[in-house]
Each structure stands twice: as C-alpha cells, then as structure tokens.
Amino acid sequence: MDSSQSVGSWRELGSHFGTAVVLAGGVLVGAVNVYLAASLLPTAVADIGGGRLYAWNMTVFLIAQVVATMLVSRTLARIGSIGSYLLGFGVFAAGSVLCAASPAMPVLLVGRGVQGLGAGLLTGLGFALIHSALPRHLWVRGSALISAMFGLGNFVGPALGGIFAQFGSWRLAFVVLALASVMLAALAPKALPSRSRSRSRTERETAPVAMRSLLLVIGAVGVVSIAGILSNTLAMAILLALALVLIWAFVRVEKRMSVRVLPSLTYRAGSALRWVYLTIALLASGVAVETFLPLFSQRLGGLPPVAAGFFGAALSLGWSVTQVVSSSARREQTVRWQQVAGPGLLAAGLAVLALLQYRGASLLVVIVWLPVLLIAGAGIGLAMPHLSVAAMASTTDKQEGEKAAAAIATVLTTSTAFGAALAGLLVNVGGPSSVSSARWLLLGFALLSALGMLTALRADGSGTHVAQGRSESEMESTAGP
C-alpha cells in the first residue's frame, strides 16, 4: 500500500500567488506588529508618557487577538472570505492609525486593542482559508508558508522597530503598517473566492457565537497576561493556577454545549485532534524564551544590543527556514516522525543552551549559542506545518474542517499568552542571578517541549484517521456528553 501523501510543489503554490500573498500577508503584518511595537514603546513613552501603563500594551493586544481568532468562523459564515479579509485589514489599519495619532498612552492602548482585533481575525483567516481557498494537496505548503510568517515577523519586527526608534519616528512605523494593510486589502477581492462554498444563506444569517466559551477564554488569557507583568512570584503562580481552572471550565463547557469554539471532534472519545492542538500549543509556547534571550545575551555574553537582538530572533529564523524544507515530506511515516521529532529537537536545543549559560562566557561559547538556537527553532518548523494539516484534515465535513483550521490560530495566540506569563515566572524564580534565571527559563521550556513528544505520539493514534472517513452527523451521534 502506498503510504505517501500528495504534496504540491512551491511552484504550484505560486499559481495561487494572489491568494498566498493575502493569506501570508495578513499573518505577517500582525506578527511584525507584535515585536515592532515592543521595540517602539520606549520611544513612544518618552514622547507621550504613560510609563505606568507600559506593560498593558501587550496585554490589551493579546486579549483582543485571542477574542478575534475565536470569531473567525462566524465572520466567515456571515460575510464570506473577501468581506472577512476586508474587515480584518480595515480594523488593523484603523488601529494602526489610532496608534500613530495617539496623544497619550490611554489612546495608544485603545489603538493596540483595535490592532489586536484585526491581527487576530487575519491570523485565523489565514489558516481557515488554506482549507477552503487552496486544493487539498497544497495544504502542507500553505500551512508552512503561513506558519513561517510568525517566525519571519519575530525576526523582522525588532529590526524595523529598532530602525524607526533610532530616528524617533515611532508614529511613522504605525503609518507604514496601516499602508501595508490597505495594500493587501486592495488585493483581496481579486485573490480570494468570491463567495462562501460551504454554507447556505440561512446558515450564514444564523451562525451562533459560543459566548460562554468565549468569555472563559478571555478570562484565562486576561489572567495570564496580568500574571506576566507582575513581579511577585507567588501572585503570578496563583494567577496561572486560576487560568488553568478557567481553561478546565472552558473544556467542560465546550463538551456540553452544541455551539463550540473548537470542532466537536476535539471532544469525541478516541479523537486525536485534541492531541494535535496540544502539540501545537506546546511548540508555540516555546517561542516565549525569545523575550529574554537578548537580555541574557547582553548580561552573560557581553554582546552589544544589535547582536543580542539577532540572537533573540535566531529561534524564529530556524523555525521559518526549516518549515520550507520540512513541508516537502511526502511519506506518511516521515510526516509522523517529524511531528514527534520536532518537539524533541526543540527540547534538546533549549536544554543544551541552558547548560551553556554562565557569566563571562567566552566568545567561542557565545558563538555556539547561535547554531543551538537555530536547531531548537528547527524543531518547531519540522513539525508545525504537518500538525496544522492534521487538524485541517481531521474531518471531511467542510464546516467543521474550516472551524478546525481557524482554531489553530486560537491555539497559537492563547499558548503565546501562556508562554509569556510562564517565561516571566521562571525568570523571577531564578532571580536575582542572571545565570540561574536563564537556566530556569530554558530548562522549564525544554521540559514543556519534551511533553510535546508525548502529545505528538498520542496524535499519531487512529482517532484522526478514522474521523476522516466519517460524516459529521456520525461523529456527533457517538460523541460523549
């Protein structure tokens, strides 16, 4: 029996160039914005004040982003792909203009929230439209391209932000983001399907919102985001525990309600989809170490700020480059191996880097940090595109498949918020020693990444494959309470 899968070429994806540009561009502007804004904020605070609200910029953005990703399926159902993208780009551009014109920090925070809504919608649409706008055999390539935009944004964002901040032009940076959104929006009507192919007019008009689930996730992300800006370790731990309780409540509500955020297959006994999502979450949360890598590169390695920033982005660079190569895998056995080996490679890279952290490290040791970071990032790129496709292909039902694809963005943004808070907690636990903080951070996330190997093995069970051959009605009839 042929165990290989059909994987289109990059050249064939190029025949869908307009669609690929819109999908990838929507994710990229949001990813660039995260790190660009972080680089610009010190300059902005010096100009308009509001230093006491500094940390809330990321909190507001993350909460808004997660909320928007959870509304992707409803937005698509009501206004279709073109309307959804025009809305996403429009909201993001409006938020960017508001940020650029902000006379004070509270106004900037509102702008960041509006940006977050636009970025979350664009991120979710990027994954959802892979499912509906590209042929099945190009899903792996499309997923690799979309996922690579996160890594590219993490790499490009700080560099662009540093350039604009160097010249004191932080407002101009937000204007550039707005213009990029407008340009991509102009391309959307020509590049995307003109109508929804999966739902009738009646279904579009009555698409419900999973309000209880939405509120629980907002609460969990809000609590985690607040935990990430606290300095008291005990308070952070309590808030993280509260967030886990809210996530548990979210799962319980999702199981019992007919209107859900995640596909119903996620909660079906024996389904592998839940393990796919968990593996994606564990991989994505590992990127949180990038927040502190520039700091440790300067304190322990004696690197100048520019070089330290490059080291901080090396993980994302390894992620982005590797995805381009790993997406070429065709044999089913190779794909499964990559899904399991990816978290393991990330864990090994972070663990080795932890052992190489000590004060006054020699230049040779510091140089070794770079390939170790690239290898660690390669672990994410090795597995991520195939995990994304595993989620999309978990059902033959078009509506549920679209929801499964859009839910990837919700998982990614939520795990980013959890990862950021956990990174702050681990650094504080290891303090005041920089060496101890670095090791706590890296070893902590190495352990989480290693757990990703276990969830990937569970995702390699028969649940997902069985689900592919069954209709949604059959799955609902056998679902647990």
Per the CB < 8 A criterion, the answer to whether 376 and 318 are in contact is yes
Q: What is the rounded CA–CA span in Å between residue 100 and residue 103?
A: 9
Q: What is the rounded CA–CA span in Å between residue 287 and residue 345?
A: 14
Kindly report the pTM of this predicted structure: 0.78
Q: Report residue 7 as tokens.
A: 């994987």
Q: Per-residue pLDDT tens for 161-217?
A: 777 877 778 899 999 999 999 999 999 898 887 654 444 444 444 456 678 888 888
60 or 88, which is more confident? 88
Instruction: Look up tokens 């993980």; give the residue.
Output: 315
Q: Which residues of 315-344 are buried (b: 16+ CB within 10 A; e: fewer)?
A: bbbbbbbbbeebbebeeeebbbbbbbbbbb
> Is the predicted pLDDT of residue 337 greater than 50, yes or no?
yes
Residue 269: count other Cβ atoms within 10 Å of its Cβ.
Answer: 8
- For residue 263, give the DSSP letter: -
Among 170-174, 268-272, 466-470, the minimum mean pLDDT is found in 466-470
If you write DSSP's letter for every residue of 67-127 in order, what string do you get?
HHHTTHHHHHHHHHHHHHHHHHHHHHHHHHHHHHT-SSHHHHHHHHHHHHHHHHHHHHHHH
> Is the predicted pLDDT of residue 135 greater than 50, yes or no?
yes
Residue 466 pLDDT grade (very low, low, confident, very high; cuts 50, 70, 90): very low
> Is the predicted pLDDT of residue 266 greater than 90, yes or no?
no
pLDDT of residue 103: 93
**What's the average model confidence in pLDDT over 260-264?**
79
Per the CB < 8 A criterion, the answer to whether 177 and 58 are in contact is no
* Phi, psi torsion values for 298, nearest 5 degrees: -75, -45
Q: 76: closest CA among 199, 218, 189?
A: 199
The torsion defined by the Cα of 417, 423, 425 and 429, in degrees rounded to 10, comes to 170
Q: Report residue 395 as tokens.
A: 């059902």
If you write DSSP's letter for every residue of 307-349 in order, what string do you get?
HHHHHHHHHHHHHHHHHHHHTT--BHHHHHHHHHHHHHHHHHH
pLDDT of residue 461: 59
Q: Report residue 438 as tokens.
A: 């670095």
Per the CB < 8 A criterion, the answer to whether 395 and 401 are in contact is yes
pLDDT of residue 462: 41
**What's the average model confidence in pLDDT over 101-130?**
91
Percent of the chain with pLDDT strictly greater than 90: 25
Q: Which residues neighbour 203 within 8 Å (Cβ) at sequence distance 6 or greater?
A: 77
pLDDT of residue 104: 93
Residue 352: count other Cβ atoms within 10 Å of its Cβ.
Answer: 17
> Average pLDDT, whole number, for the chain?
81
pLDDT of residue 197: 45
Q: Per-residue pLDDT tens for 342-375?
A: 999 999 999 999 999 988 888 888 889 989 999 9
Among 47-61, 83-97, 191-205, the minimum mean pLDDT is found in 191-205
Q: Which residues of 180-217 are buried (b: 16+ CB within 10 A; e: fewer)?
A: bbeebbebbeebbeeebebbeeeebeebeebebbbebb
pLDDT of residue 78: 85
pLDDT of residue 7: 62
What residue ranges define each of the domains in the chain, with the CATH number in brackets? 12-207 (1.20.1250.20), 260-471 (1.20.1250.20)
* Phi, psi torsion values for 432, nearest 5 degrees: -85, -5
pLDDT of residue 449: 94
Per the CB < 8 A criterion, the answer to whether 115 and 33 are in contact is yes
Residue 477 pLDDT grade (very low, low, confident, very high; cuts 50, 70, 90): very low
> Is the predicted pLDDT of residue 475 greater than 60, yes or no?
no
327 or 285, which is more confident? 285
Instruction: Look up tokens 């390539």; give the residue.
Output: 141
Q: Report residue 150 as tokens.
A: 């996160």
CA 384 distance to own-chain centroid: 11
Q: Report residue 443 as tokens.
A: 């070893």
Q: 54: closest CA among 109, 115, 119?
A: 109
pLDDT of residue 89: 96
> Is the predicted pLDDT of residue 70 greater than 60, yes or no?
yes
Percent of the chain with pLDDT strictly greater than 70: 89
Residue 470 pLDDT grade (very low, low, confident, very high; cuts 50, 70, 90): very low
